[in-house]
Amino acid sequence: MIEVTLIIVCVALLLLLAWAFFAYRTQSAAMTGVLHLVSNMAQGQYARRTDPLLPGLGGELARASNMLAEEMEKRSSGAQQDKDHLLSLLAVMDQSNEIAIATDNMDMIRLANPAASRVLDRPVGSLLGKHIETVIHHPDLMALYRNAFSSNKPVSAQIAMQAPGRTIHCSATAATIYNGAHYKGTLLLMRDVTEVARTLQMKADFVANASHELRTPLASIRAAVETIKEGDGDEETTRRCVDIINNHALRLQLMVQDLLDLSRTEDGRAVVQMDRLDLHQICDMITGMYAGNAKEKQVQLHVDFPPEAQTFRGDERLVTLTLKNLVDNAIKATFQGSVTIRSRLQAASSVVRHDFTAHHAVNGSHGNGSQGRDVDLATEAEANEFVLEVQDSGCGIPKEDQERVFERFYTVNRSRGGADRGTGLGLAIVKHAVGAMGGRVELTSEVGKGTTIRCVFPIRS
């Protein structure tokens, strides 16, 4: 009996040892799986899982670890998406012309894009970490920034800012940033609307100038008509009134034609046909057109085209329009002198001179004066520019007027009347016609000695 009991005890002990060994191996495996999972999580890898079906405490720990890994994986995926969105936003801001500045809750700049750097004339790195009041000194802009904090929605204003060498008109918006109920900072956005403001001003000026220029001849025509209607049939008075009506009607006709020409040259959709042109043929037509006017004012018309510069690749309509307006202006400014149309080849150099190019102010915003290049005469092989110019020995243009003569309706001597008073649109037409062919316009003038206006074009094969 004792032996049987001893055997039973031994078997029980063996079973207990076996169970303890199995439990140890099971828990050890569970702990090893959990340790591997935690190790991967520490390295930012959340895809690994351990066996959740293990019994006991090891199984509970495995299931809890798996749940933690799943949550971390979701958060990591969301954080990566947020990071991608942020990088995309930063890339857009870097390439945008819209000025963007973001501050924290202490008004310290935490983000600024290259557009802000250009306007503030400081590197982006020197802006970050600075208090906004040490960077932006414009009172209206700072007032807008402060108003955003007391408002529950974005606030906007139109602001004019001084940038290096120019004035920038901005449409500015400031908005506060919150995380729940906690204020995190303010975002300041500014969009450059200088070109829009300039275009609107151009339109307003154009309407005002056109109205003024049209009002004068119309008033004269109306006065002449009323004089005829109320007159006693005096033949001399009637003839004088008819002449007034005829002169002002002709002026209105010229103005309408010039407005149409200006509209066509400004139209970016217009097709520019670049062909090989014979300048002699074009100038024969123009000199014939103005021969009568030149003879009446005792002005000699000359043409000087050297053999290497007698042909030119350009748009025939635009070249004719350019020369017609230049010759017309030159004859009006000259009495008992000469007007010369000439051409030449040149190689450009780096010396500075006045240059009125097509992209400079259409309505007189030349800033501090356009700058161009002086030139060197060149052989046909060396030349990279073709010059077509009209020179007169007339009254010249005062220095203060030289940067404005390409404005619409601007005339140097407003006291001139009759045939010598143009519409004020000729040089605006020239500037746009030359610009449409890829060229630039340069002006040289001296009061009492005359004016030279040259149109410079890149040589095309």
Q: What is the mean pLDDT of residues 204-232?
A: 77
Local confidence band at 256 (pLDDT 50, 70, 90 cut-offs): confident
Over the Cα atoms of the chain, what is R_g? 41
The domain limits of the chain are 2-90, 96-192, 272-458
Sign of CA dihedral 257, 262, 265, 270: negative
Q: What tens digit of pLDDT does each residue of 46-94 get?
A: 666 766 655 555 566 666 777 777 777 777 676 666 556 655 655 656 6
Per the CB < 8 A criterion, the answer to whether 98 and 191 are in contact is: yes
pTM of the predicted structure, to 2 decimals: 0.50
Q: CB-based contacts of 360: which residues, under 8 Å, 6+ apart?
A: 366, 370
Alpha carbon distance 366, 162 (integer Å):
17
What CATH number is given for 96-192 in this structure? 3.30.450.20
Domains 96-192 and 272-458 share a fold: no
CB 253 within 8 Å of CB 263 = no
CB 182 within 8 A of CB 210: no
According to the model, what pLDDT value does residue 359 have? 33
Q: Which one is predicted more confidently, 267 or 183?
A: 183
Q: Which amino acid is at 460?
A: R
Question: What tens digit of pLDDT does each residue of 329-343 get?
Answer: 899 889 889 999 999
Q: Say what the pLDDT of residue 52 is.
A: 61
pLDDT digits (tens, 9 = 90+) for 379-397: 555 668 899 999 999 988 8
Q: What does the pLDDT look like over 86-126, one tens digit per residue?
A: 556 556 566 667 888 888 888 898 888 888 887 777 888 88
Contact 144, 187 (CB under 8 A): no
In the predicted structure, residue 364 carries a pLDDT above the cut 70: no
Span 279-289, pLDDT tens digits: 999 999 888 88
pLDDT digits (tens, 9 = 90+) for 434-444: 988 889 999 99
How is domain 272-458 classified at the architecture level of CATH?
2-Layer Sandwich (3.30)
